[in-house]
Amino acid sequence: MSVPANNIPGLLDEHHSDAGGYFSHLDALEAESIFILREVAAECRNAALLFSGGKDSAVALHLARKAYFPEKVGFTLLHVDTEHNYPEVIEFRDRIAEKFGCKLVVRSLEDSIKRGTIRMKSPDEARNPYQSVTLLESIAEFEFDACIGGGRRDEEKARAKERIFSFRDEFGQWDPKNQRPELWELYNTRVHKGENMRVFPISNWTELDVWQYILREKIELPEIYFAHERDIVRRNGVLVPVTHLTPPKPGETIEKITCRFRTVGDIPCTAPVESTAATIEDIVRETAVTRITERGATRLDDQTSDAAMERRKKEGYF
């Protein structure tokens, strides 16, 4: 069931469509996303853009720049830092925020742990599930009425059913059975004080759309998205990078392989894939023929059950 790489519209097309001619799928997706971000800019009082340094948030920031043009981006960049991130990604986050003159706020899980609002069962436990707590605390601290995220509906079943403007109550909860209908491009942004919107401007993009767009727009990314050599061990069918947080277990063999990350997050729950794709073109080609979903290959946290994401979203997760 392999896919020929030409089975995709304009796979390696770097050019914008000419006005008056062909309006490509990337043109249509981009225009929709800019429209959504402008609605946030116009109707929300104080919006944050969740910026982790990952590719989806880099694309969201790029779109925000286009939405605000010719102004600087008016959203606060917010990173909920597990402090278990790859240093290259953190360096990238800081550099990009400065480059585009954006206000960056970093709030750490460590602070929530010190406050006692997060109590971990063990110190080496994956930290992603606890991000919701620190996120909700940051929303309260800055009184954000909207938080923009890079979530996509193709990532996961629960996301496929979530609105672009996803209403959250004061506990940050998503109620899948009681979502606001979303018709045409008429987004209802209204919230009461203490409630907020999660906004997903790239809801309708797929992983491949994201990479095609990164190629076309020449969007900068952290180095770890590209092929590099890394020490790993093989565990339950996934590659576990050897780091101080994820040391090899007794009996495991360390291998040096050429790999890259398809998603970037908390070290203990993000695994690389074997790949020699060193350029964005290579990655677009590889993504077009991949046989494993993005999360299936690389996320150690969603594999526990089919409904893992749905439950986490109900608890306030992005």
Q: Which of residues 14-43 bind another protein (CB under 8 A)?
A: 16, 19-31, 34-35, 38-39, 41-42
* Residue in 222, 242, 266, 224 with CA at minimum distance from that of residue 109: 266
Phi, psi (degrees; rounded to nearest 5) at 168: -125, 140
Give dist(CA 219, CA 181) in Å, integer: 33
Could you give the string, one character per residue 142-171, with x where binding to another protein holds by CB under 8 A and - elsewhere?
-----------xx--xx-xx-----x----
Give dist(CA 258, CA 238) in Å, integer: 14
| By CB under 8 A, residue 175 contacts another protein | no
Give dist(CA 33, CA 45) in Å, integer: 19
| By CB under 8 A, residue 278 contacts another protein | no
Stretch that binds another protein, among 88-96, 222-230, 245-253, 291-299 (CB under 8 A): 291-299
Among 121, 122, 186, 218, binds another protein (CB under 8 A): 186
* Residue in 261, 318, 316 with CA at minimum distance from that of residue 133: 316
Beta pairing class for 196-199 and 146-148:
parallel
Radius of gyration of the chain (CA): 19
Nearer to another protein, 120 or 292 (CB): 292
Nearer to another protein, 192 or 244 (CB): 192
Could you give the string, one character per residue 103-132, with x where binding to another protein holds by CB under 8 A and - elsewhere?
------------------------------
Q: Which of residues 293-312 bind another protein (CB under 8 A)?
A: 293, 296-297, 306-307, 310-311
Nearer to another protein, 80 or 215 (CB): 215
| By CB under 8 A, residue 204 contacts another protein | yes
The secondary element (H helix, E strand) that includes residue 108 is: strand 104-108
221 by Cβ neighbours in 10 Å (0-12 / 13-18 / 19+) ranks as buried
- Helices 25-43, 55-68: axis angle to 10 degrees equals 70
Among 10, 105, 111, 238, binds another protein (CB under 8 A): 10
| By CB under 8 A, residue 95 contacts another protein | no
CB-CB contact of 187 with 179 (8 Å)? no
| By CB under 8 A, residue 177 contacts another protein | yes
Nearer to another protein, 138 or 206 (CB): 206
Residues binding another protein: what is the number (CB under 8 A)? 75
